[in-house]
Amino acid sequence: MNGAAMIITHTDIRSMIREIEVAYDRYLTEFRIPDDHKIVVNYSAGKDSTATLAVAHALFGDRAQGVMADTDNEHELTIKFGKTIHEQIGCKPVQMVKRIYTEDDFARRRAHLQKNWPKRQVIRMGVYRGVVMPSLARSDTKFGQAWLRTAERWGIEYETALDAAMSVMHPSGNSFLDCALLHGKFPMLRDRFCTDELKIQIAYEKVMQPLLDNGDVVVQWSGVRADESSKRAGYERFSADRRDPDFLYNFLPIHRWTAADVFAVHKYFGIKPNPLYTQGASRVGCMNCVLCNKEEIAETTARWPEHIEKHKQWELKVRLRSRWVHWMSVGEVSQRWMKQFDLPLGRNVQMYGITPEVQNIDWSGFYGPRGGLNSPGVEEVVEWAKTGRSGKVYDLVKASLDTSVCSSRYGLCE
């Protein structure tokens, strides 16, 4: 912890909380929000939302209701922390919500695949624009025969790619995996459907919507801090929510606080933070997040390898559901260019003694493109995460990471 945290006194904290109280009052007047409005605190079991819940409870008691969305990709300690934080704060238990994908959701998706995968499809965007993807429902075509070699390489026994996809299109019992299966890929930076479906929408449907339907005005408190990113810095501290602008509002009470302020508030209220911080995590939440950085991947590999294994198993299923991966597994160049030489698809071929480079993709990678690799699987990403900055030199510090030592970047081991 840096020196700044050491000089945050109880008086400072009392005035920081008082500042929130005064500002909130001002916003209520400005936005004409009734005194009997409902307060919902978005809770993630991280340090910022814990501080936010503690402050909301200190100011409003049991009027503040914490809500946590379990994505089914969380660390078990995070879920446990969320389920027991009320014992530390003295507030009402946090309401846990989870999106459950049903057999009906999967049936609709199966029908969609059955209708569309037998058809040829023209790619409309990107470098492969104009390329025609063949039917994935036939084994009597050149592509179908080539795909059977993919199946052999993957160790699966199906006649066609469509059959392979159908085999995984049933609820798995894990919401994050189900979400990826229904989308046919893992979430990415520009397509973060996990946050939308597994966190934002479900909290709205289960908690906010019923209150709004009941005629209540709701203010959501969130522990967003400006110094986390320039995007977050640009958020208004108080604003109407676009989903229901006359009745639903967003308040960011600790927007200008630092991480040191947040931990000082934990101490002030006698709250022990999520234990993952003292075990080396710089952030809690999904273990891992699809967008996490190299250091976090290395950290998880060393400390919680079971979560890496979990993602490996998910990749094995999601690739069966990805039209793109089935097609690319045969080798795009061999389909587009080699065909004119009438050479077999999906094989290593030699032309005039030269082995042409054929791009194969075997994964819908959990972590997306990393380290200059187009679509690496978890294993490749983990190897890359162990390397130094150049991506080539093995970093001895990471290699010898001692999993029993606290490496919290917040210095929480006191």
Q: Which residues bind ligand SF4 (CB under 6 A)?
A: 71, 73, 187, 192, 194-195, 198-199, 285-286, 289-291
Residue nearer to ligand SF4 on the CB measure, 51 or 290: 290
Minimum distance, C-beta of residue 112 to ligand SF4, in the bound complex (Å): 23
Residue nearer to ligand SF4 on the CB measure, 70 or 332: 70
Minimum distance, C-beta of residue 74 to ligand SF4, in the bound complex (Å): 8
- Give whole-number Cα distances, 264 to 47, 180, 257, 279, 414, in Å: 11, 38, 11, 19, 13
Residue nearer to ligand SF4 on the CB measure, 151 or 290: 290
Minimum distance, C-beta of residue 192 to ligand SF4, in the bound complex (Å): 5
Minimum distance, C-beta of residue 315 to ligand SF4, in the bound complex (Å): 14
Which pair of tokens denotes residue 72? 């089914």
Minimum distance, C-beta of residue 186 to ligand SF4, in the bound complex (Å): 9
Residue nearer to ligand SF4 on the CB measure, 112 or 232: 232
Name the 3-class secondary structure at 357. coil
Residue nearer to ligand SF4 on the CB measure, 228 or 246: 228
Element counts in the chain: helices (H) and strands (E): 19, 8
Q: Is the dihedral of CA 31, 35, 38, 41 positive or negative?
A: positive
- Give the strand pairing for 218-221 and 132-133: unpaired
Distance (Å, whole) CA 131 – CA 241: 42
Query: Beta-carbon neighbour count of residue 290 at 10 Å?
Result: 20
Residue nearer to ligand SF4 on the CB measure, 71 or 150: 71
Residue among 339, 326, 317, 316 at smallest CA distance from 121: 326
Residue 66's identity, in one-letter code, is: G
| Phi, psi (rounded to 5 degrees) for 299 | -65, -45
Minimum distance, C-beta of residue 235 to ligand SF4, in the bound complex (Å): 17
Beta carbons of 106 and 170 less than 8 angstroms apart: yes
Query: Where do the DSSP E strands lie in 192-268?
Result: 218-221, 238-240, 248-251
Beta carbons of 361 and 325 less than 8 angstroms apart: yes
Minimum distance, C-beta of residue 313 to ligand SF4, in the bound complex (Å): 16
Minimum distance, C-beta of residue 288 to ligand SF4, in the bound complex (Å): 7
Minimum distance, C-beta of residue 67 to ligand SF4, in the bound complex (Å): 15
- Give the strand pairing for 121-122 and 132-133: antiparallel
Residues 6+ apart with CB under 8 A from 206: 67, 95, 97
Residue nearer to ligand SF4 on the CB measure, 288 or 375: 288
Residue nearer to ligand SF4 on the CB measure, 202 or 328: 202
Residue nearer to ligand SF4 on the CB measure, 38 or 185: 185
Which pair of tokens denotes residue 116? 């569309």
- Give whole-number Cα distances, 272 to 135, 222, 285, 286, 412, in Å: 56, 20, 17, 20, 10
